[in-house]
Amino acid sequence: MDTNVSMSEKQNFQLESLEKEKVLQNIGGIIFVSLMMSVGIGGNSVAIFVYLRKYKHSSYGTFIVALAIVDLAYIDMWK
Instruction: Break the chain into its structural domains and give their ranges.
Output: 2-77
> Of residues 36 and 77, which shows the higher confidence score?
36
- Exposure letters 5-22 (e unless 16+ CB within 10 A, then b): eeeeeeeeeeeeeeeeee
What count of residues does the chain have?
A: 79
Crossing angle of helices 27-53 and 59-77, rounded to 10°: 150
Mean pLDDT over 58-71 rounds to 91
User: Region 18-47: what's the mean pLDDT?
Assistant: 90
pLDDT at 10 over 90: no
**In the predicted model, is pLDDT for residue 68 greater than 90?**
yes
pLDDT value, residue 78? 58
